[in-house]
Amino acid sequence: MSAAQSTYQRRYTVEEYFAFEEQSDIRHEYYHGEVFPLDGPAAMAGATFAHNTIKQNCVIALRQGLRGSSCRVFDENVRLSIEQDKQFTYPDVMVTCHPDDQRETRIARHPGLIMEVLSASTEAHDRGWKFQQYQRLPELQQYVLISQNQVLVENYLRDSENVWKLTTLRSLTDSLLLPSLSLSVSLGAIYEEVGISPLRLADSY
């Protein structure tokens, strides 16, 4: 599943996994009966300042922009189901406008937008295996990766032919367009109070 190996030798039913999560101090991903500790700073309550601030900035901007709509904004404490409950994970931020998700209390199944804040321990997983799994979600239209070390946002947008196209944003004056939500969020708002410098082009080579 990822570079990290499961430290749990037994296989779990979905119900057993839910019960295990209720008693655990850290969160876990679930994959076809196997349980894996969630990698990175978001696994435990003590995430980094930058990670928490960026996540909160995104949630605030999205909730303000979607106020009065039927869409719901969730942070990393809400599970995402993939492959009809064969996989569960915790995206940093997700938005769902699907009517079936309006009736849920703990699990989202039909997000249109997922955002992940990258860290050294999660970047390869978020870019690779996790993105591949997210693409199984038919309603997902946009996947956004946000660096917490520099002003850098990578925006993957699914087109009408089911092809994912990448746009890279590097300036605080840039705006992240969210066409499926009829919104845009400035990078200045995403990185507010984080205190990092924009990426210089020379640094990307």
Name the pLDDT band for 25 (thresholds 50, 70, 90): confident
Residue 185 Cα distances to 58, 163, 179, angstroms: 8, 23, 11
Beta bridge partners of 177: 184
Q: Which domains does the chain have, with CATH numbers?
A: 48-195 (3.90.1570.10)
- Higher per-residue confidence, 6 vs 65: 65
Indicate the SS3 state at residue 73.
strand
- How does DSSP classify residue 11? -
Comparing C-alpha atoms, which of 203, 117, 196, 119 is closest to residue 151? 196
Distance, C-alpha 42 to centroid of its chain? 11
- pLDDT tens for each residue of 108-142: 999 999 999 998 878 888 898 899 999 999 999 99
Phi/psi class of residue 204: alpha, beta or left (left: φ > 0; alpha: ψ in -120 to 50)?
alpha
- Taken in order 116, 110, 138, 83, the sign of the CA dihedral is positive
CA gap 154, 205 in Å, rounded: 16
Write out the two tokens for 79.
Answer: 């599970």
Quote the pTM value: 0.86
Q: Are strands 183-186 and 142-147 parallel, antiparallel or unpaired?
A: unpaired
- Higher per-residue confidence, 2 vs 182: 182
Residue 9 Cα distances to 1, 13, 36, 190, angstroms: 15, 13, 10, 40
pLDDT value at position 105?
79
Please identify which residue in the block is written with the tokens 């699914």.
Answer: 158
- pLDDT tens for each residue of 196-205: 866 544 344 3
Please identify which residue in the block is written with the tokens 């404490």.
Answer: 77
Write out the two tokens for 169.
Answer: 């944003």
- Higher per-residue confidence, 203 vs 13: 13
Q: Identify the top-confidence range among 20-29, 46-55, 166-175.
A: 166-175
